[in-house]
Structure 1
Amino acid sequence: MGGIFDRDLERNAANHQPLTPLSFLERAACVYPDRPAIIHGAQRIDYGTFYRRTRQLASALSRLGIGKGDTVSVMLSNTPPMLEAHFGVPMTQAVLHSLNTRLDAAVIAFQLDHAETRVAIVDSEFADVFREALKLAAVKPIVIDFVDAEYPADAPYPQGEPLGGMDYGAFVDSGDPEFAWSKADDEWDAITLNYTSGTTGNPKGVVYHHRGAALMGYGNIIASGMGRYPVYLWTLPMFHCNGWCFPWTLALQFGTHICLRWVRARQIYDAIADYGVTHLCGAPIVMSTLINAKETDKRSFPQTVTFNTAAAPPPESILAGMAEAGFAVTHLYGLTETYGPAVVNEWQDEWDALDVSLRTAKKARQGVRYAALEDLAVLDPETLQPVPADGETIGEVMFRGNIVMKGYLKNRAASDQAFAGGWFHSGDLGVMHADGYIQLKDRSKDIIISGGENISSIEVEDALYKFPAVGACAVVARPDDKWGETPLAFVELKPGHAASEAEIIAHCRTLLAKFKCPRNVLFEPIPKTSTGKIQKFELRKRARAL
């Protein structure tokens, strides 16, 4: 029987509402309707207009019959429609599925079918590959074309022919700007769908809920030290974990989104100097792009810019170069299943006095849990007991809390495995230090992180085995100063067969997206156990020694 604090104190509409990031934009538009929300080339969109357009998008989607539980897929660059979709799609209680714009047609088709896509919004830059995907897909979604008026005249890639569906601008204009949009019925309702890279076969669909997305908004502000009126430059693809939830985050502090279609040094420096950028996110390659840029591409700026980076820890030379250029680097770590970054290397002031080697060792650690995450641990994967906090005993990094995914779409077995014992099993191996900071040591999944994008070694190996001369192969990550990691292939040729590195790489490019293909191929014996299992740990040693 409950106590006095459980008696006559029920939840009701007055004291309990589902958490959702959609209310962030509503509040920003009410408080600061004239503040700049989005800058895209010559376009300037204030918060009042931003909110109105998201309601129009929601209205237009509703007229197509889109509602709770429906999937709206988008293949968009970092442009205003992508930001509008992050609010407008869930305003109908539908689920936003953001496609990786670097994927090949077969993977796009798989995701469209698996997600049961009903509407697709496609940037004309990606129209050609999407057209091929539609030929392969079983679903036949309504297609809405976005032709960007700000597409650069000197663009390295021409715009493809629109797919022949509706025009995005006209579609949004047809919607009601006073549309009575729907908040989530329950904060556990799905808000977005993001696919993993797929380590064993097809990728898994990671489902986010409104509660987690809202809490990530607050968590990002704390982890990034984001004050009032931030100016955020979109160097991180918004398709990647919903841009680490920053499309929703900025409305909390009435910030300005600076759209950027491609990561180019001159454009980044121009945006930072011209718009007073305060924050940006990206993989280590973005930092390399900035500090290795031609002097003619660089610009000076008075403000210190916070650069949030994930994936491999940045080397000291990169950190020094970034500091000299006016950037303060924050090291983050997370997974698609944790809404992006859920761990932050909280820097201690006294570490600044350490010598270079000790300071680098501190910066290499992934860190401590986000304020929005309830628990982070390094556990023995068999017993689920914490490993000693000695910085040496290896266990599996595990998460628990409200910024862990709902689960994998239509894959109960994978969800149950991931959540075994009441923890999310990351598959990453690490250690716990005495001060409570974790540090990764290896990945139990053979995932290669190149330029911030995940590459499945198994997918690459499958492509290699389709080359007639390949008898055995294995793919591991090779450290790379620019990309963080790149795929390195070890190949044993069949007796009597010959092949060159160039031939094998060219073959892979007929089957895989370019960024997934091996950068190098080594023809040498592959170490195996007595049972024939490839010893990838030995190959990783070779890769590191190259």
Structure 2
Amino acid sequence: MNLVCDTPLTPLSFLGRSSTVWAEKTAMVDDERTLTYGEFGALAQATAKALRGKGVGDGDRVAYLMPNVPEMLVAHFAVPLAGGVLVAINTRLSAQEMRYILEHSGAGVLVAGEGLTQLADEAAAGLDSLHTRVTTAQEPPAGWITYEALLESGPAAADLPWSVDDERKPISVNYTSGTTGRPKGVIFTHRGAYLNALGEVLHSQHTTDSVYLWTLPMFHCNGWCTTWAVTAIGGTHVCLPEVRGEAIWRAIRERGVTHLNAAPTVVTMILNAEEAAPLDAPLRITTAGAPPSPTTIAAMERMGFSIVHLYGLTETYGPYAVCEVQSSWNGLPGVERARLMARQGVGMIQADTVRVVDEDMVDVPADGQTMGEIVMRGNCVMAGYYLDEESTAKAFRGGWFHSGDLGVMHADGYVELRDRAKDVVISGGENISTVEVEQALMSHADVLEAAVVGVPDERWGERPKAFVIARRGTAPTEADLIAHVRQQIAHYKAPREVVVVDELPKTSTGKIQKFVLREKEWAGHATRVQG
């Protein structure tokens, strides 16, 4: 007899469980509200029923345009509970970029935060697919209804089940940044989101006592699936609409924050805020989105933060690999330990292995020198690009997802990211890793942040140029910085120009937008071969 008693995996079950087991425990807080897990579950149910009342059915897309507020967290459960697919839109996009996402996804409902309705109206003007617009503002503009009115419109019906019939159904579509073309809609499934969330619980070491501060946007890879992870373990979400140093440090001290996620540039902002001071209690920072420099890691540890370094992409539900810290590293000098911790590491516990391969899909030697492309597969790789079979097939050629990231494999099985393929500087036939040059610059005591891009060169085709932000109260010279880099790495890799700037172009998650710097440098020149 072959009896099958399993159930499809879905993050919905996390809130179903926590709303019962932790019914009276604080689930989320912001400056105005506190909700228990029982109230969280009830609000998700009410929102889901209301969305169904507005016509949302199986597979229908529901767009949310919001910062990190409770309604955005609720959406991660309410939309799939209604049978829909969540499309969380970056609040920093232009109206034109938002319009493309709304049109491509075919969203029928748009829920926007207070202060975002005018931008949303501009983005959605004339879209026939969009039939319902909801706002958290108390006084909605014409054509909009309030969030309260949405809830009141919901039918009186029994609670919806915290389950799905097919774990491979889409739970969300997350759009890429589109820096080299139109944004692509990355399909997350219930199964992948469930497993990635559990991986986050394990590697970031969340418990029911976790107090998680939302410094990472929920619209970015569904907050690296932490929307579901912290809920699964019954931790407390601290919603933070604006990421500012003062607000972060106030929340750390007043809310007793134990965990937060952030890109390295956001970590740098936290460390260098005027309010920064050594911690009174342990706080774990999970960082990803760009390679953190050993200098940043060492500074984090000195201030008392414990570090989880992850690596991944939107196409891998956010984090896919983790730099597992070995006990043997504890006795190493600080600089050497930080260098090892800056590597991207190995596949997370819920993921598959990470490979570094050549153009023929053959693994490169594990010598820490030979570069190849990082490829991945398994439970936590996207189901594909929404309505884009050609791009999906290209991304999965050879049966593995091609990241577009170049890295090396070390003898201990740890991967180290060297660059994005499009960012590598090819100077006189030599490949120069911009990450390596940036880390050399960051090791200078006066450098707060650095970005390196390839610029035109008549003799070599292109060469590296650096842009840096200096620490407060310092004034590093170009000659000093160039000399410092030449002491760290080969002379031919060092930039001839280092420009000190007040700010660097960044995404909403704090990742430096090198393409913006590069496009300015290449304006009026022949198109760069590697893009």
AA partner of residue 358 (structure 1): E
Check whether the contact 2:63–2:89 (CA below 8 A) recurs between aligned residues.
Answer: yes
Task: Map Cα deviations across residues 262-302 of structure 1 (whole Å, 9 max, x no partner).
Answer: 111121111111111110001122212222111xx346653
AA partner of residue 56 (structure 1): A
Distance 1:478 1:233 in 2: 33
Which residue does the alignment assign to 2:280?
Answer: 302
Check whether the contact 1:79–1:261 (CA below 8 A) recurs between aligned residues.
Answer: yes
Which residue does the alignment assign to 1:9?
Answer: 2
Distance 1:283 1:402 in 2: 24
Which residue does the alignment assign to 2:368?
Answer: 391
Which residue does the alignment assign to 1:246?
Answer: 226
Q: What do you get for the CA RMSD once the two structures are aligned?
A: 3.2
Check whether the contact 1:131–1:163 (CA below 8 A) recurs between aligned residues.
Answer: no
Which residue does the alignment assign to 1:279?
Answer: 259
**1:87-126 alignment runs, 5 A limit:** 87-126=77-116
Q: Any idea what SS the aligned residue of 1:117 has?
A: coil
Distance 1:482 1:129 in 2: 35
Match among 19, 34, 54 for residue 44 of structure 1: 34
Gaps of 5+ in 1: 1-7, 149-159, 462-472, 484-504, 506-513, 538-546
Q: CA deviation at 1:325?
A: 2.6
1:262 has 2:242 as partner: yes
Q: CA deviation at 1:245?
A: 0.3
Q: Any idea what SS the aligned residue of 1:311 has?
A: coil
Which residue does the alignment assign to 1:152?
Answer: none
Which residue does the alignment assign to 1:436?
Answer: 413
Which residue does the alignment assign to 2:69?
Answer: 79
Which residue does the alignment assign to 1:127?
Answer: 117
Distance 2:31 2:272 in 1: 25
Residues 316, 444 of structure 1: alpha-carbon distance in 2 compared, 3 angstrom cutoff: closer
Distance 2:283 2:324 in 1: 17
Q: Any idea what SS the aligned residue of 1:407 has?
A: coil
Distance 2:304 2:150 in 1: 42
Distance 1:314 1:270 in 2: 25
Check whether the contact 1:93–1:182 (CA below 8 A) recurs between aligned residues.
Answer: no
Match among 51, 54, 63 for residue 64 of structure 1: 54
Check whether the contact 2:207–2:235 (CA below 8 A) recurs between aligned residues.
Answer: no
Q: Output the TM-score relative to the length of structure 2.
A: 0.80
Report percent identity of matched pairs. 39
Check whether the contact 1:127–1:163 (CA below 8 A) recurs between aligned residues.
Answer: no
Q: How many residues align?
A: 462
Q: Any idea what SS the aligned residue of 1:83 has?
A: helix
Distance 1:476 1:167 in 2: 51
Check whether the contact 1:236–1:243 (CA below 8 A) recurs between aligned residues.
Answer: yes
Distance 1:369 1:392 in 2: 20
Q: Any idea what SS the aligned residue of 2:344 has?
A: coil
Distance 2:216 2:184 in 1: 22
Which residue does the alignment assign to 2:174?
Answer: 194
Distance 1:147 1:300 in 2: 39
Match among 191, 204, 208 for residue 211 of structure 1: 191
Q: Any idea what SS the aligned residue of 1:425 has?
A: strand
Which residue does the alignment assign to 2:528?
Answer: 534
Residues 524, 165 of structure 1: alpha-carbon distance in 2 compared, 3 angstrom cutoff: closer
Distance 1:70 1:248 in 2: 21
Q: Any idea what SS the aligned residue of 2:406 has?
A: strand
Distance 2:514 2:421 in 1: 19
Q: Any idea what SS the aligned residue of 1:37 has?
A: strand
Which residue does the alignment assign to 1:412?
Answer: 389
Residues 127, 293 of structure 1: alpha-carbon distance in 2 compared, 3 angstrom cutoff: same
Q: CA deviation at 1:209?
A: 0.3
Residues 95, 32 of structure 1: alpha-carbon distance in 2 compared, 3 angstrom cutoff: same
Match among 310, 316, 319 for residue 341 of structure 1: 319
AA partner of residue 528 (structure 2): I
Q: Any idea what SS the aligned residue of 2:116 has?
A: helix
Q: Any idea what SS the aligned residue of 1:375 has?
A: coil
Distance 2:240 2:285 in 1: 16
Distance 1:219 1:478 in 2: 36
Match among 139, 142, 148 for residue 169 of structure 1: 148
Distance 2:188 2:160 in 1: 24
Task: Map Cα deviations across residues 456-478 of structure 1 (whole Å, 9 max, x no partner).
Answer: x9xxx9xxxxxxxxxxx999995
Q: Any idea what SS the aligned residue of 1:426 has?
A: strand
Residues 390, 300 of structure 1: alpha-carbon distance in 2 compared, 3 angstrom cutoff: closer
Which residue does the alignment assign to 1:154?
Answer: none
Which residue does the alignment assign to 1:496?
Answer: none
Q: CA deviation at 1:171?
A: 1.5
AA partner of residue 135 (structure 2): D
Match among 230, 237, 254 for residue 210 of structure 2: 230
1:184 has 2:178 as partner: no
Distance 1:66 1:309 in 2: 36
Distance 2:515 2:313 in 1: 22
Match among 14, 29, 52 for residue 24 of structure 1: 14
Check whether the contact 2:364–2:372 (CA below 8 A) recurs between aligned residues.
Answer: yes
Q: CA deviation at 1:9?
A: 0.8
Q: CA deviation at 1:178?
A: 4.3
Distance 1:141 1:67 in 2: 14
AA partner of residue 343 (structure 1): A
Which residue does the alignment assign to 2:130?
Answer: 140
Distance 1:82 1:31 in 2: 23
Check whether the contact 1:58–1:181 (CA below 8 A) recurs between aligned residues.
Answer: no
Which residue does the alignment assign to 1:493?
Answer: none
Residues 40, 174 of structure 1: alpha-carbon distance in 2 compared, 3 angstrom cutoff: farther
Q: Output the TM-score relative to the length of structure 1.
A: 0.78
Check whether the contact 1:93–1:183 (CA below 8 A) recurs between aligned residues.
Answer: no
Q: Any idea what SS the aligned residue of 1:82 has?
A: helix
Task: Map Cα deviations across residues 469-490 of structure 1 (whole Å, 9 max, x no partner).
Answer: xxxx99999565599xxxxxxx
Gaps of 5+ in 2: 425-433, 439-450, 456-460, 472-502, 504-511
Q: CA deviation at 1:173?
A: 4.1
AA partner of residue 304 (structure 1): P
Q: Any idea what SS the aligned residue of 1:193 has?
A: strand
Distance 1:146 1:29 in 2: 24
Distance 1:120 1:202 in 2: 21
Check whether the contact 2:57–2:82 (CA below 8 A) recurs between aligned residues.
Answer: yes
In terms of mean alpha carbon deviation, does 308-317 or 329-338 score higher?
308-317
Q: CA deviation at 1:177?
A: 7.8
Distance 2:333 2:414 in 1: 19
Which residue does the alignment assign to 1:489?
Answer: none
Q: Any idea what SS the aligned residue of 1:67 has?
A: coil
AA partner of residue 365 (structure 2): P
Distance 1:324 1:177 in 2: 55
Task: Map Cα deviations across residues 309-341 of structure 1 (whole Å, 9 max, x no partner).
Answer: 113332333223322332112211100000001
Residues 525, 307 of structure 1: alpha-carbon distance in 2 compared, 3 angstrom cutoff: closer
Residues 407, 131 of structure 1: alpha-carbon distance in 2 compared, 3 angstrom cutoff: same
Q: Any idea what SS the aligned residue of 1:404 has?
A: coil
Distance 2:189 2:523 in 1: 47
